[in-house]
């Protein structure tokens, strides 16, 4: 049984491989996505280490001159996804989107390097300066208010999670003009964001186009700017991994140490004392989202957990059966199958578990691993699962689900 699933997982990675880059899944996501790629590399490293490093190369080859690594790279135009390169209109070649995504690449590069240090040394040396430039971009462009900020929910990777509701309220989606969504043609619409949310997503893209994707201007004047606990923790963690990699390569890492110290000192700004948890925050007016989301629980990956947060973790986790839910099951906004508003995401479980292991909480790691593995064994390599009964949701044959099976869950 287990052997079969391992073989299936490898076949999914091979099947989604487009020669140097990997699709999240066929149909629904026909391009290269930033953080999906980093997880793909981790999965490939279990059976083809050279191919793992190729994935980082293709991702970082599309880095902008500013250091930003975009969230989608449109290698070959495919009309089955909206919004495509014509809508983003960034003028990059190959075409890319105009926002970034959670910077997990340095963390994944470290994991891949650790799996074969000799094979990885030169490949690591090639990508290291690009990773540093990307982290510098986060520090200088997105961390100007302290915690890491996002200018679009898509930048968080946790698109329609409740964290962004208060920021989305301020975005006018009524004038975006007609467009045809493609996502709801591939998967059950009840598992995807609502139309009102999509209108606003597109309005934010249109704003970016209107200012020529000048990122500083978007941060200063754009329709949406929120502090993201998820990216703040992922970046903190990735800074630490980048420092380790820099030391291995003999580089001076003091600049990265400075970014990490500054980011850690900003954590109190995203601690919502009323909620007793880290929380997303609208940087235009200082308001907290007031909901416990998966971003807050990423604190464990950055060694930023505490006993108050632990209570929430166990409370939301005990309310379901198949991994950590992406929203609080006891809150009104919880929706067990709607994308980032409740489902359990295997790759995110794997990331949180990384933190559990490093804290010495092997009991929590074992539980999360067991529940995630049960969902996959029951219903396949789905994009995400109903956390109550493990119903497979979203796309099938999903790259990052296969990858974390090979590296952790399986």
Coil, helix or strand at residue 321: coil
Shortest reach from residue 21's CB to ligand 2M8, in Å: 13
Residue 226 pairs with which residues in a beta bridge? 150, 282
Does position 228 interact with ligand 2M8 (CB under 6 A)? The reply is: no
Coil, helix or strand at residue 17: strand
Distance from C-alpha of 154 to C-alpha of 167, rounded to nearest angstrom: 13
In angstroms, what CA-CA distances link 204 with 29, 86, 99, 184, 208? Answer: 20, 15, 11, 20, 6
Residue 33 pairs with which residues in a beta bridge? 72
* CB neighbour list of residue 248: distance below 8 Å, 6 or more residues apart: 113, 121, 124
Does position 24 interact with ligand 2M8 (CB under 6 A)? The reply is: yes
Q: Are 83 and 205 spatial neighbours (Cβ–Cβ below 8 Å)?
A: yes
Does position 31 interact with ligand 2M8 (CB under 6 A)? The reply is: no
Annotated active-site residue 159? The verdict is yes
Does position 295 interact with ligand 2M8 (CB under 6 A)? The reply is: no
Query: Which residues ranging from 40 to 99 are in contact with ligand 2M8 (CB under 6 A)?
Result: 71
Does position 154 interact with ligand 2M8 (CB under 6 A)? The reply is: yes
29/271 with CB nearer ligand 2M8: 29
Does position 36 interact with ligand 2M8 (CB under 6 A)? The reply is: yes
Judged by CB under 6 A, the number of residues near ligand 2M8 is 10
Of 230, 267, 208, which is closest to residue 104 (Cα–Cα)?
230
Annotated active-site residue 114? The verdict is no
- Cβ neighbours, 10 Å, residue 170: 13
70/222 with CB nearer ligand 2M8: 70
Site string for ligand 2M8, 180-219 (x = CB under 6 A): ---x------------------------------------
* DSSP string over 282-300: ETTT--B----BHHHHGGG
Coil, helix or strand at residue 166: helix
Contact with ligand 2M8 (CB under 6 A) among 55, 159, 228, 386: 159
245/297 with CB nearer ligand 2M8: 297
Q: Which of 36, 159, 228, 279 is catalytic?
A: 159
Q: Which of 55, 183, 365, 383 is catalytic?
A: 383
305: tokens are: 């957990």
226/260 with CB nearer ligand 2M8: 226
Does position 157 interact with ligand 2M8 (CB under 6 A)? The reply is: yes
Does position 35 interact with ligand 2M8 (CB under 6 A)? The reply is: yes
* Binding range to ligand 2M8, per CB under 6 A, among 11-19, 31-39, 58-66, 215-223: 31-39
* CB neighbour list of residue 159: distance below 8 Å, 6 or more residues apart: 153, 193, 201, 339, 340
Residues near ligand 2M8, by CB under 6 A: 24, 29, 33, 35-36, 71, 154, 157, 159, 183
Question: Which residues are known to be catalytic?
Answer: 159, 383
């Amino acid at each position: 049984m287990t052997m079969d699933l391992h073989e299936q997982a490898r076949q999914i990675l091979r099947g989604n491989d487009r020669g140097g880059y990997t699709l999240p899944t066929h149909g629904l996501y026909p391009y290269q996505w930033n953080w999906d790629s980093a997880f793909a590399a981790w999965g490939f490293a279990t059976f083809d280490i050279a191919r793992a490093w190729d994935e980082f190369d293709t991702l970082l080859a599309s880095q902008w001159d500013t250091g930003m690594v975009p969230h989608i790279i449109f290698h070959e135009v495919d009309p089955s996804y909206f919004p495509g390169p014509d809508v983003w209109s960034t003028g990059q070649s190959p075409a890319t989107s105009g926002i970034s995504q959670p910077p997990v690449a340095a963390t994944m590069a470290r994991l891949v390097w650790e799996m074969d240090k000799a094979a990885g040394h030169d490949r690591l040396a090639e990508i290291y300066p690009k990773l540093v430039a990307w982290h510098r971009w986060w520090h200088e462009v997105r961390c100007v208010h302290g915690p890491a900020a996002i200018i679009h929910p898509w930048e968080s990777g946790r698109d329609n999670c409740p964290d962004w509701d208060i920021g989305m309220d301020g975005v006018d989606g009524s004038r975006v003009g007609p467009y045809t969504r493609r996502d709801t043609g591939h998967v059950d619409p009840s598992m995807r964001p609502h139309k009102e949310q999509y209108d606003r997503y597109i309005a934010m893209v249109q704003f970016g186009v209107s200012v020529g994707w000048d990122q500083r201007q978007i941060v200063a004047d754009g329709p949406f700017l929120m502090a993201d606990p998820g990216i703040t923790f992922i970046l903190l963690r990735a800074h630490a991994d980048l420092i380790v990699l820099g030391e291995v390569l003999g580089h001076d890492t003091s600049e990265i140490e400075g970014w990490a110290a500054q980011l850690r000192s900003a954590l109190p700004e995203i601690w919502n004392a009323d909620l007793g948890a880290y929380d997303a925050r609208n940087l235009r007016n200082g308001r907290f989202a007031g909901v416990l989301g998966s971003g807050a629980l990423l604190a464990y990956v950055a060694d930023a957990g505490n006993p108050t947060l632990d209570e929430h973790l166990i409370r939301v986790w005990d309310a379901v059966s198949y991994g950590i839910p992406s929203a609080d099951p006891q809150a009104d906004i919880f929706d067990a199958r709607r994308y980032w508003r409740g489902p359990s995401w295997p790759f995110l479980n794997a990331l949180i578990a990384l933190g559990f292991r490093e804290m010495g909480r092997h009991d929590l790691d074992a539980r999360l691993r067991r529940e995630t593995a049960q969902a996959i064994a029951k219903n396949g390599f789905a994009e995400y699962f109903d956390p109550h009964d493990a119903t497979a949701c979203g796309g099938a044959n999903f790259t990052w689900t296969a990858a974390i099976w090979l590296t952790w869950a399986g």
